[in-house]
Amino acid sequence: MTATMNANTGRQRTMTALFLAVAMAATVGSALGFQYIGGYIPCHLCLEQRTPYYVGVPLMLLAVLASALRAPVWVTRGLLAIGGLLMLYGLYLGVYHSGVEWAWWPGPTDCTAGAGPVDTGGKGVLDALDKFVPPSCDKAALRILGLSLAGWNAIASFVLAVVAFRGALSRD
């Protein structure tokens, strides 16, 4: 009975890590889709909110591999816990950015940096500055059901953190 229970728990951890990898990739993929397909230029805080996902996806794939190869259970648990911590950091970034957008607190001073390369059209950078205005962190480019993408990121990060911690703390 214990061997069956451990096998089921191990399989559950594998599936949890796989779910997290796919969900994290889909979340950051959506942001990239809004950027490249939708034409939304991300601000500095938008770009920063992607970091937990860029780190988390390969980390969760490593957790899938560790669990599938029956590495010691603490390895998979530890990786899931780190994934949960990354998502808590993502939650913090999403709430912080949302607060900046709602003018609850000031944003960073480099709030307009990070717009990416500018096509100068063969002219100098100073000529391009007259036409190009980088996005500001305090203005939501898009709101869906009243929430900006930063707000939706906070919700996604919270849900993914709960899933990760639940997987890390599940009993054997």
Nearest to 33 by CA among 21, 45, 50, 52: 50
How far apart CA 57 and CA 63 sit, in angstroms, is: 10
Q: Which of 5-9, 54-58, 163-167 has the lowest mean pLDDT?
A: 5-9
Q: What is the pLDDT of residue 77?
A: 95
Please report the DSSP string for 81-121 in residue order.
Answer: HHHHHHHHHHHHHHHHHHHHHTTSS---TTTT--------T
Total Cβ atoms within 10 A of residue 149: 24
Q: How confident is the model at residue 2 (pLDDT cuts 50, 70, 90)?
A: very low
Residue 42: alpha-carbon gap to chain centroid: 14
Calculate the CA dihedral of residues 73, 154, 56, 116 and round it to 10 degrees. Answer: -170
Q: How confident is the model at residue 121 (pLDDT cuts 50, 70, 90)?
A: low
Residues 19-52 pLDDT 10s: 999 999 999 999 888 888 877 888 888 889 999 9
What is the mean pLDDT of the segment spanning 59-68? 95
Q: What is the pLDDT of residue 172?
A: 61
- Say if residues 60 and 83 touch (Cβ distance below 8 Å): yes
Q: How many residues does the chain have?
A: 172
pTM over 0.85: no
Give yes or no for residue 104 having a pLDDT over 50: yes
Q: Mean pLDDT across the chain, nearest whole number?
A: 83
- Say if residues 101 and 138 touch (Cβ distance below 8 Å): yes
Q: pLDDT over 70 for what percent of the chain?
A: 80
Amino acid letter, residue 94: G
Pairing of strands 143-144, 147-148: antiparallel
How far apart CA 89 and CA 93 sit, in angstroms, is: 6
Output 131-134 pairs: Cβ under 8 A, ≥24 positions apart: 134/41, 134/43
Q: What is the pLDDT of residue 44?
A: 85
Give yes or no for residue 133 having a pLDDT over 90: no
Q: What is the pLDDT of residue 115?
A: 46
Q: What is the pLDDT of residue 128?
A: 56
